[in-house]
Amino acid sequence: MAERLSAREVVTALADDATFAELPAPARKSRPDGPLAWPGYDDSRARAAERTGEQESVVCGTARVGGVRAVLIAFEFGFLGGSLGERTGDRLEAAYAYARERRLPVVPLVATGGSRMQEGMLALTQLQRVARQSALTREAGLAQVAVLRDPTTGGGWATLGAGADVVLALPGAQVGFAGSRVRPADADPAAYTAEAQVAAGAADAVVGPQELRETLGRWLRLLTRPSTTPAPPPGPLGESAVLPVTGWDAVRRARSPQRPRAGAYLDAYFTERTAISGDRCGGTDPEGMLCGFGTHEGRTVAYAAQTGTATRPAGYRTAARLIRLADRLGIPVLTLVDTPGAANDAEAERQGAGAAIADLFGAVAGARTPVTTLVIGEGGSGGALALAAPGNTWATPDSYFSVIAPELAAAILKRPPREVESTADQLRIRPQDLVELGVIRGTVGG
């Protein structure tokens, strides 16, 4: 179990020194014992206030984190389990409205057991208010970075937590829609943890308390620097800048184990970068797709990079998530194409490969922010093209892009294996062929 700090202790731990300013709480008249006249409810609130020093289960205010001014929403779990009621909804709505008026990112520091039973359905409907405020903030192009504390369950997880653009979690925190007292008796408790949510693609990273302030500050800096200038394509990292002589030479060089992969290109391009993880649909593809935001020449650039393996459906969905987020925030995108193709096994089909690829095609096609693509290795059919920017795709000398792999083309055409190499020439897949055909803008370093 993660250490449970109070709302103000969390704010103090994360905010730059002496920068937190609490927002005024909206006034609300309520009848004795709340809207349901629940016996003893006023006494429960009074005891919670005496115990915590707070008047409600959230503390809202502004502060600088890593030099970036943001609206912080800190839950006080000691106040009736951090539960949401009408007054909580009032505070949350006011905090989000304040953020939009002043163009500030929002940081929910979540620790809640869910909706307040003593207020019945009126408490539950606060989730609709929160969801609307989050949606309006998203439409306004403002970032939301959630921090999941212990516990984060119920509607608080399903709105403020899981609905954020980037989701960070403290180690060992209890995270799940079902709280510990309402789960099936035989439920595996390991499934309701921060670590499990990251593994399932529902959260981006587990961050230790000592690193949280720096990590949160980095995310806020990266997500609050819009730019309309396209990201320049990276320079080539391969040993040879000479273009391939034949189509098969292009294939051979692109498949070479010595050729630089995505990680090397990203390390050379960015001075710092931070990854997002997961498709928010239950999947991750860490071996096939790298996504995140980084700093290039002093400005933020988002990236989605294939790693040279067959891309899984979760990888495509994560890339689509990345591009849509960058588009909302006005951040240019760099994509690196390098895959023999989309994963085509039975499990990939069960995971919705076609729909995932279609979603990525749609995200790229609909992006208003500039997208730049560099083909750094294999460009295998539609599984590679989905990540490529129409009209702004470049290629390295040790890459190729093809409608289909030469071996598969020969097989479909019922040609013998000895004709695979000549088939590669016929497909015109070399970088210089692609320039001549108008498929790409040019080559880098060639």
State pLDDT tens for residues 189-212.
888 899 999 999 999 999 999 999
State pLDDT tens for residues 372-418.
999 999 999 999 999 999 999 999 999 999 998 888 888 898 999 88
In the predicted model, what is the mean pLDDT of residues 52-63? 97
Q: At what angle do helices 247-254 and 420-427 cross, to 10 degrees?
A: 100
pLDDT score of 45:
95
Mean residue pLDDT of the chain comes to 94
Query: pTM here?
Result: 0.94
Label residue 446 by pLDDT band (50, 70, 90).
low
What is the spatial distance between Cα 58 and Cα 60, in angstroms, rounded to a whole number? 6
Give the rounded distance of the alpha carbon of 405 from its chain centre.
32
Q: At what angle do helices 209-223 and 7-14 cross, to 10 degrees?
A: 60
pLDDT score of 2:
55
* CA proximity to 367, closest of 332, 318, 393, 316: 332
What is the spatial distance between Cα 284 and Cα 295, in angstroms, rounded to a whole number? 24
pLDDT score of 4:
86
Model confidence at 213: pLDDT above 80: yes
State pLDDT tens for residues 356-383.
999 999 999 999 999 999 999 999 999 9
pLDDT score of 30:
82
